[in-house]
Amino acid sequence: MDFVPIRDRAIYASPPWFAARRNQWLRFEKCQLGWLLDRYDRLIYLDSDILLAPACPNLLDLVAPGCFGCVFEDCGTRWWERWEEFARAQRKLGPLRCKPDGYFNSGVMVVDGAHRELFDLKICPPVGGRWAEQNTFNYHAHRLGFTLQPLERRCNLLAEFTDLWADESKRLQAWVIHYAGKKDRHLMAKDLPRIAALWEQMEGQTVDGRATSR
């Protein structure tokens, strides 16, 4: 697979309400996925505040083509905030046809050409709220009638999953560890050496009778 980092700003037009929330608008650079889907059949998107464990399977193998792979995060003590965002979006852009299955975290997404419209802000305008781009993707994914395929929590382990997050041994067993927000950056720095050691161990294992080198 190709690895394509999103480093350059390409989403410039911003509605007036973003004026005081510049950092919120930068998160909409994820909409560059729409252009990448002109070049690739399928994509796995990962936020930059993530550690990927070497045991992680190919997420494309876990999601059926045409389905939107994601992990729902409307759990824990702040579950109600996610549904409050759905309510705010519906007041602004209109009611959804049916109750959403859940609120997903946009830090890990498995998408293909069927989802290209989701990343077109002319078709799917921002809805605002606490997590601007995430709320926008959630509202419009349901409005457009996408088939969401929920992945297990270890495909995007978040602090909201308190039973796994607080236990270091369980956290490090996840496939994709997502240190969302500044409050968890110290944990990311703490976990990085151990995850890196697992990668070093894997790279030194024998493959087809030959030792791999870094």
Nearest CA-CA partner of 160 in 138, 183, 137: 183
Whether the predicted pLDDT of 17 surpasses 80: no
Residue 203 binned pLDDT confidence (cut-offs 50, 70, 90) = confident
**pLDDT score of 214:** 38
pLDDT digits (tens, 9 = 90+) for 89-141: 999 999 999 999 999 999 999 999 999 999 999 999 999 899 999 999 999 99
- pLDDT, residue 111, reads 98
Contact 87, 114 (CB under 8 A): no
Which of the two residues, 15 and 132, has the higher pLDDT score?
132
Identify the structural domains of the chain with CATH numbers, from first to last.
Answer: 18-211 (3.90.550)
DSSP string, 111-176: EEGGGGGGG-TTTS----SSSHHHHHHHHHHHHTT--EEEPPGGGSB-TT-HHHHSSHHHHTTSSE
pTM for this entry = 0.90
Which tens digit of pLDDT belongs to each residue from 72-85? Answer: 999 988 899 999 99
CB 17 within 8 A of CB 135: no
Q: Spell out the residues 6+ positions from residue 118 whose beta carbon is closer than 8 angstroms to its own.
A: 34, 111, 124, 137, 140, 141, 144, 146
* pLDDT reported for residue 14: 56
What is the reported pLDDT for 20?
47
pLDDT number for residue 15: 56
Give the chain's mean pLDDT: 91
Place of tokens 């975290």: 105
